[in-house]
Homo-oligomer: A and B are copies of this chain.
């Protein structure tokens, strides 16, 4: 793929800045590891490597973690450690015209620390930010190479075949659906008949779709998947639940937190009030379970996986870990080659056997785009995944990449997070 833009590269060595952005994943630190370990192999181009404490906020407040102060063991351990080791933030920079000051502050900090490379590890919002930084730097005549590193459990970035972070949450959800399904099947004749598992995905149903990997035949759970892409139809849903309980003795439902009525209202906002009369935030699973109870009276259970799913490094997908590392490595390699304003992507060569390579696309092609589950991946009735979807998803959860354990628990690393000395006297108010 073509370079989008080339900075006026200085031949001198310059420093680099890496930041984690948005909701964390089981493998975002593996991308950090890829960036960091690759930087050490390019010491001709890359001087110091800094990581933003709390992502981009660390740049704005000049809180730059000096990565060289971490031990090699800690840095290697990032590959098997979930969540954001340097801190992540949901902080979204506004448009250049709305808040130019923030971007100028970023450049000010970058200039103070001679940062010539900016790696931003996040989703579509973050790619937009990286693009804007690149544009403003160019306007201001400050030479910097901006590279996006894809990350999101939601799998909603365009152009890349998949997003690092997704494969592992998909594996957790598929495994949990399989296991809970066996549990419910064991006792359905005398106990719980309906089980509802709520998973993430506010706008795209990729994670919910992954639950579908747990079963291959109609009688195998999950029997129903509720996607954000399919407007919720209460009557059809309740009929399907009844059919499943009648035919199979039980019904396992995977519901996306983004499941919504035709008018766009989330099911989760559909009227649950707590003791204080506040709308209960989150929790579409109890809403769906109560709906089933009221219509059919079946005994039910529900689970809300929440952070457990995206932090579940203990059951990460090996493919996902490898791809997360690979995009971090590729980002650094592109940067030192002088390619600017791009994001590495995963390119699928074949599904069976699974073969993938890396490519890259301009940040402008990714920024603020969102990829949803296509209709042909969802069965005609709207409640399941098709064979095409299975073919797409299956390779992404393949392989196990267990963390090392100590005393029965995963031996995750924690960075010291020593900050570089500040060089600016100015402070930035968040």
Interface size on A, residues (CB 8 A): 82
Tell yes or no: A73 within 8 A of B by CB. Answer: no
- Taken residue by residue from 270 to 304, chain A's Cβ proximity to chain B (1 for < 8 Å, 0 otherwise) reads as 11111110101011011100100110000001111
Residues of the B chain whose Cβ atoms lie less than 8 Å from the Cβ of A274: 271-273, 286-287, 290
Determine the distance from Cα of A23 to Cα of B191 in the docked complex, in whole angstroms: 9
Task: Give the complex CA separation of A176 and B280 in angstroms.
Answer: 24
| A410 interfacial contact with B, CB 8 Å | yes
Of residues 387 to 403 in A, which have CB atoms within 8 Å of B's CB atoms? 394-395, 397-400, 402
- A263 contacts chain B at the CB level, 8 A cutoff: no
Which residues of A, 299-334, contact B by the 8 Å Cβ criterion? 301-308, 310-315, 317
Measured CA separation A408–B195 after assembly (Å): 23
Cα A26 to Cα B88 in complex, Å, equals: 35
Known: A24-B186, A400-B405. A290 touches B278 (CB 8 A): yes
Q: Which of B176, B189, B397 touches A308 (beta carbons < 8 Å)?
A: B176
The CA of A197 and the CA of B306, in the complex, are separated in Å by: 9
Q: Is the CB of B83 within 8 A of A182?
A: yes
B282 touches A302 (CB 8 A): yes
Q: Which residues of B contact A302 (CB under 8 A)?
A: 282-283, 304, 306
A398 neighbours in B (Cβ, 8 Å) = 407-408
Does A91 lie at the interface of the complex (its beta carbon under 8 Å from any beta carbon of B)? yes
Residue A362 at the chain B interface, CB threshold 8 Å: no
Measured CB to CB, the nearest residue on chain B to A396 is B408
A185 within 8 A of B: yes
With A294-B276, A408-B399 as contacts: A307 and B183 at CB distance below 8 Å = yes
Report the Cα distance A174→B410, complex, angstroms: 10
Given A213-B408, A313-B179, A409-B213: A84 in contact with B186 (beta carbons within 8 A): yes
Contact A280 B286 (CB under 8 A): yes
Task: Give the dominant DSSP class at A's interface.
Answer: mixed
| Complex Cα gap A84–B166 (Å) | 31
Query: Is A96 part of the binding interface, using a Cβ–Cβ cutoff of 8 Å?
Result: no
B residues less than 8 Å from A81 (CB atoms): 182
Bound state CA distance, A303 and B310, in angstroms?
12
Q: Does A159 count as interface, using CB distance less than 8 angstroms?
A: no
Partner of A408, one of B197, B312, B314, B394: B394
Tell me whether A270 and B280 are in contact (CB under 8 A): no
Known A24-B187, A183-B311, A276-B290; further 19 A-B contacts with Cβ < 8 A: A23-B187, A57-B190, A83-B185, A87-B187, A89-B190, A179-B307, A180-B306, A182-B311, A184-B307, A197-B308, A271-B274, A272-B273, A278-B290, A278-B294, A303-B304, A304-B304, A314-B315, A395-B408, A402-B402
Identify 12 residue pairs between A and B in the complex whose beta-carbon atoms are under 8 Å apart, listed by A's number: A82-B179, A83-B185, A178-B409, A179-B410, A272-B280, A273-B274, A275-B290, A278-B290, A282-B286, A283-B283, A285-B304, A400-B402
